Amino acid sequence: MTGTAGEVGAPERLGRTLSAPKIVFMVVAAAAPLVAMAGTVPLSMGSGNGAGVPGAYVVAMLTLLCFSVGYAAMARSITDGGGFYGYIARGLGRPVAAGGAVLALTGYNGLVAALGGGIGYFLTEEGGAPGPWWAWSLGAIVLMGAFGYRNVDLSAKILGVLMVCEIGALTAFDVAVLAHKGLDAFQFTSFAPSTVLSGAPGVAFMFAFGSFVGYEAAALFSEETKNPVRTVPRATYAAVLVIGLFYTFTSWLMVGAIGADDAKETAVAQEGDLFFFLTEQQLGETARALFGLLIITSLFASLLAGHQAAGRYVFALARDGLAPAKLAAVHTKHGSPYMSSLAQTGFTIVVVALFAIAGLDPYKTLVTVMSGLSTLGIVLLQTLTSIACVVYFRRTGSGGLLGTLVVPLVGCLGLLFAASLILVNFETLAHTDSPLINALPYAVLACAVAAALYALWLRKSDESRYVRIGAMTRGTDELPAG
């Protein structure tokens, strides 16, 4: 059945085609390990805290593990789609969920736009592809939209193959550094607080937390998972640990290959060429060329995974009446949210086109600005979700005190700290003095507040629409009053 959003109790449903391994592939592919090392670590080192990048990854990993304790516990009650938006609705009510929806849309649409720009940059600057960067970016976005239109199972299979290739490449780099440097590769100063908090740590933390964007896909795709009660918690913990440990270790060896004292200066000098420069040093020119190709496939894998996640947020909001009803249509053959996929593709094309028309640098501006907005949106969304988990378990009287109160609150404090650093350092991150661009984070916050106020207005003016907010993400319990 295709069509528009149904009434509460008779919503459009997506096909259950995803197994646990496919969910994990979607999550890790969204994190794009090779892109993080080649694209974001150089920016994090050069504009952020230099040799302290590995320490920033550890802080992000521990914070999200604390957050995941309450999140995974709540995932056993919520098995429909909607991701964090649904969790917030269950814990904090409809108005806060509406504000969270804005943060979710900002986070995932910003991620896709950043990746779209990144593909064009790496193809033209590193791959030597002819023509302007934006033409290649638009081509990749159109291909992304074609896959997003079809069954998610196809995307999961493609992402699995691409992920294995990039993990293999990074493992080869790690082994080469260890073979050349031995114990000197381990620069323990990377984890010293004075190093982690040096320079502009907000930039480093932004990229560190941004590297985990997409790990909630286990819950976001729960409606399409065969056994969501078991799959979501397991995939959540696995994603945080795999992403966190792998990124920490590889970025640590990058520092070791350069030397802690020279990390920041070298990153500034090499910019987006840093990882390729180190690869050529350790493995030779042939490996550099091969890794350049794998960067493109990694970018596309992350682009596709981010698109799938963004489209499902739009789909969930359309079912609940917070987006046009047509966007909740499900394809009769593919069982995919094809209209929300098309809308997300169109939005990404517009963003890339605007940056291209303005003549802005795709790497230093498009990638950094949209990555910053993406991470800010997701971190704030995770903060609201951690609070929602605490409130939910206090209201229902279930769960242990440590796992549903103490640990989630520790994660919440870490996320608030990260969000504040991103806001303070956004101008440094964006590489621009433009008041318009530097005001974007506050515009996102204003839109989130406006969405919450709109929901409150609906409660008085149109109760039938108001009660639909969060209604399609019901688990075993009803939403809280209000």
Q: Express each pLDDT in 428-472 by its tens digit.
A: 767 677 888 889 999 999 999 999 999 999 999 988 888 888 765
pLDDT (0 to 100) of residue 475: 43
Structure-token match 């964007």, residue found: 213
Q: Express each pLDDT in 348-360 by its tens digit.
A: 999 999 999 999 8
pLDDT (0 to 100) of residue 120: 93
Angstrom distances, CA of residue 389 to CA of 129, 203, 477: 48, 28, 14
Q: How far apart are CA 365 and CA 482, in angstroms?
A: 41
The domain 20-471 having CATH identifier 1.20.1740.10: the answer here is: yes
pLDDT (0 to 100) of residue 371: 84
Q: How far apart are CA 387 and CA 105, in angstroms?
A: 20
Q: Express each pLDDT in 106-137 by its tens digit.
A: 988 998 999 999 899 988 987 788 999 999 99
- Which portions of the chain are predicted below pLDDT 50? 1-11, 473-477
Q: Express each pLDDT in 377-432 by its tens digit.
A: 988 998 998 899 889 888 887 777 887 888 889 988 988 888 888 888 787 767 67
Q: Please tell me the pTM assigned to this model.
A: 0.82
pLDDT (0 to 100) of residue 162: 74
Task: Name the DSSP letter for residue 479.
Answer: P
Tell me the domain boundaries of the chain.
20-471
